[in-house]
Amino acid sequence: MHPSPAIVPGRSCGTCTLCCRLPDIDLFDKPANAWCRHCIEGKGCSIYADRPSVCRDFLCLWMTEEALGEAWEPSRSHMMVYRQGPQITVLVDPDHPDIWRREPYHAQLRAWADEAEPNGGYVIVFWQDDVFKI
Ligand code: SF4
Ligand code: SF4
């Protein structure tokens, strides 16, 4: 079992609830981009103390990697970034379709893709049903 990565000092989810909305969560039969039925928008989880491990164990990269600067705070970037093996996954808030094409985001996504490529890595951006490989 791997220990959970450490949270960058000073960072917290605050009022961000993107990971209760953007990913699909089988446990709750929750499709992508639909609010989890336990989420109170702008406030957070209504079952926080009893939330399942799938929620408890998840931290996006902004929470664990200092290299993702202030611009990547999910409540500001409107994107949720995490690693899945060689893939860096970027889920884009449906209400902000073009944000990932803007700077500083697009240049950073390209840089991550260039950095990952020699080791077989890549970056995938999801917005609604659209998928973009970088
Ligand atoms: S997307 Fe990141 S900052 Fe936002 S609630 Fe999830 S783990 Fe916290
Ligand atoms: S159970 Fe709570 S933490 Fe988990 S997705 Fe739903 S609202 Fe978010």
Using the mean position of ligand 2's atoms as its centre, give its distance from the Cα of residue 6 in Å. Answer: 20
Using the mean position of ligand 1's atoms as its centre, give its distance from the Cα of residue 38 in Å. Answer: 15
State the average pLDDT over residues 48-59: 94
Tens digit of pLDDT for each residue in 103-125? 999 999 999 999 999 999 999 99
What local confidence, expressed as pLDDT, does residue 121 receive?
A: 97
Using the mean position of ligand 2's atoms as its centre, give its distance from the Cα of residue 20 in Å. Answer: 5
Tens digit of pLDDT for each residue in 4-35? 679 999 999 888 899 999 999 999 999 999 99
**How many other C-beta atoms can be found within 10 angstroms of the C-beta atom of residue 111?**
13
Is it the case that residue 1 has pLDDT exceeding 70?
Answer: no
For the chain, domain boundaries: 15-58, 59-134
Measured in residues, the chain has a length of 134
> Quick check: CB of 80 below 6 Å from ligand 1?
yes
What local confidence, expressed as pLDDT, does residue 82 receive?
A: 97
> Quick check: CB of 38 below 6 Å from ligand 2?
yes
The pLDDT-based confidence of 3 (bands split at 50, 70, 90) is low
pTM, two decimal places: 0.93
> Quick check: CB of 63 below 6 Å from ligand 1?
yes
Can you tell me the distance from the alpha carbon of 51 to that of 130, in angstroms, rounded to the nearest whole number?
A: 30
How high is the mean pLDDT of the chain? Answer: 94
Can you tell me the distance from the alpha carbon of 84 to that of 50, in angstroms, rounded to the nearest whole number?
A: 25
Query: Residue 74 CA to chain centroid, in angstroms?
Result: 7
